Amino acid sequence: MDKSYVWHPYTQMSDWNRWDNRVIVRGQGFYLVDTSGKKYLDGTASMWCNVWGHGRNEVVEAMREQLKSLQHSTLFGLANESSTRLAEKMVKLAKGMQKVFYTDNGSTAIEAAIKMALQYWLNKGRPEKKEFLSLDHGYHGDTVGAMSLGYIEKFFGAYKPLLAPKVHKLPSPKLYGSGFDSHSALAEQCIEQAENILRKNASRCAALVMESGAQIAGGAVIYPAGYQRQLSELCKKYDVLLILDEIATGFGRLGNMVEYVAQKSSPDIVCFGKALTGGYFPLAVTMATKSVFDAFLGDCSQNKQLYHGHTFTGHPVGCAAALANIELYKKRGLILQIRESGKYIAARLRECKTFDVAADVRHKGMLAGIELASGGKPVLSLRNGEKIGYFVMQESLKRGVHLRSLGNIMMVIPPLAMDMRNLRKLMDTHLEILRKVETSLP
């Protein structure tokens, strides 16, 4: 039935239709269970969002309780209790932010953010500030505005006619392949180039949009110390808003609940999603400072209000999940557990580095990228012609683990609360696949 009716994301369906696919029917701890009863360790955190694994817990119970009293109520002209309580909680959590705008997912949170930035300058009487800046290798989602900011030719070339024409690219601080010997020297060069671009274009630019702490879809590019803080200072210097994307990097992925606080940077707008609800409900938030919000105030006839919204904005079930999720972080001391898990992952990654095919290994918290290359060239296919991404996925499934690489980069990005026994199995599987890749090169 799936092969007859479902169109899968980022998947060549002619390949999908020839594979022996798994249909997942339930979750059990950190495992997904298919129709035959076989279990697979959720090694991708169900697309980078799962926190607690799968099954009954306080977050699930909060959703069940919310469904008994209010299933959905619009925020167009009304309020609801759980969205109000969550907004208060998020403002206390996210230093410097004062207002919460609700959306359904990360891409739509970014769309809201860039519309806020454009209209902010229009409302301030500076309509010429309508261009954007973003980082090379950045990714912010698949909606039109998000694609414009994180343009990847292979992914989005077909949609180029839709995209915003003016997005200025700042260099990404990816050390591997840069020609630099140290992160500090690379960061210094990146900041110098960024300032040159800002100096020339800031008068026309509304905002810099960047992921906070690391670029995940860009292949686990970890920012050097001080890099994000310096970019934040440049935005202030050149009067450009800073929009930080913590959709995938916030809520502990890099070892900090709010990554921009750890980075000592000061955003004007910040987006959270994915782990916000523990991965159990589609919900995201776009948060803004008081100064950004105040620019939208005035008489209705001035037309300054934000013309943006979604049917399921502030969904009470999602907000109830997020509230319970945040409390569970505190109750279980999850950030401390993540930091301990990160130390274990770092130790196991040292074993990965012993393989010649592991040309570069990048890591922070519960995120790692293992870049596969041979002879200075990325490993994209094996001796038999099989694509490396397909190989990693199929080999992991044989071992009872679900992994999905980003091209030639094997990603370590498990559920945030994964226990040590299952982390060991996850890292063992990466090592076994690395060993097999190395013996299967052209």
Residue 154 has pLDDT above 90, yes or no: no
What pLDDT is recorded for position 129?
98
User: Per-residue pLDDT tens for 405-415?
Assistant: 999 999 999 99
Residue 21 has pLDDT above 90, yes or no: no
User: Per-residue pLDDT tens for 182-208?
Assistant: 999 999 999 999 999 999 999 999 999
Nearest alpha carbon to residue 370 among 354, 348, 386, 349:
349
83 φ, ψ (degrees, to nearest 5): -70, -35
Nearest alpha carbon to residue 417 among 50, 164, 162, 130:
50
Q: Which residues contact 160 (CB under 8 A, 6 or more apart)?
A: 151
- Domain segments of the chain as ranges: 24-55+333-420, 60-332
- DSSP for 100-142? EEEESSHHHHHHHHHHHHHHHHHHTT-TT--EEEEETT----S
User: Per-residue pLDDT tens for 209-252?
Assistant: 999 999 999 999 999 999 999 999 999 999 999 999 999 999 99
Contact 88, 98 (CB under 8 A): no
Nearest alpha carbon to residue 366 among 429, 431, 419, 437:
419
Cα 19 from Cα 13, distance rounded (Å): 10
The residue-averaged pLDDT of 374-402 equals 96
Q: How many Cβ atoms are within 10 Å of 354's Cβ, its own excluded? A: 9
- Work out the pLDDT band at 369, boundaries 50, 70, 90: very high
What CATH code would you report for 60-332?
3.40.640.10
Q: Which residues contact 384 (CB under 8 A, 6 or more apart)?
A: 440
Strands 99-103 and 284-288, bridge-based pairing: antiparallel
Cα 187 from Cα 75, distance rounded (Å): 43
Cα 357 from Cα 370, distance rounded (Å): 9
Write out the E strands in 18-76: 24-28, 31-34, 39-42
Residue 373 has pLDDT above 90, yes or no: yes
User: Per-residue pLDDT tens for 163-187?
Assistant: 988 999 999 999 999 999 999 999 9
Residue 20 has pLDDT above 90, yes or no: no
What pLDDT is recorded for position 119?
98
| DSSP code for 171 | P
The residue-averaged pLDDT of 344-362 equals 97
What pLDDT is recorded for position 164?
82
The answer to whether the pTM exceeds 0.85 is yes
The residue-averaged pLDDT of 127-143 equals 97
Cα 407 from Cα 289, distance rounded (Å): 37
What pLDDT is recorded for position 166?
93
Which pair of structure tokens corresponds to residue 426?
Answer: 């996850």
- DSSP for 198-238? HHHHGGGEEEEEEESSEETTTT-EEPPTTHHHHHHHHHHHT
User: Per-residue pLDDT tens for 82-105?
Assistant: 999 999 999 999 999 999 999 999
Mean pLDDT rounded to a whole number for the chain: 97
| Strand arrangement of the beta sheet that strand 39-42 belongs to | 24-28, 31-34, 39-42, 401-402
The residue-averaged pLDDT of 354-372 equals 98
What CATH code would you report for 24-55+333-420?
3.90.1150.10
User: Per-residue pLDDT tens for 274-325?
Assistant: 999 999 999 999 999 999 999 999 999 999 999 999 999 999 999 999 999 9
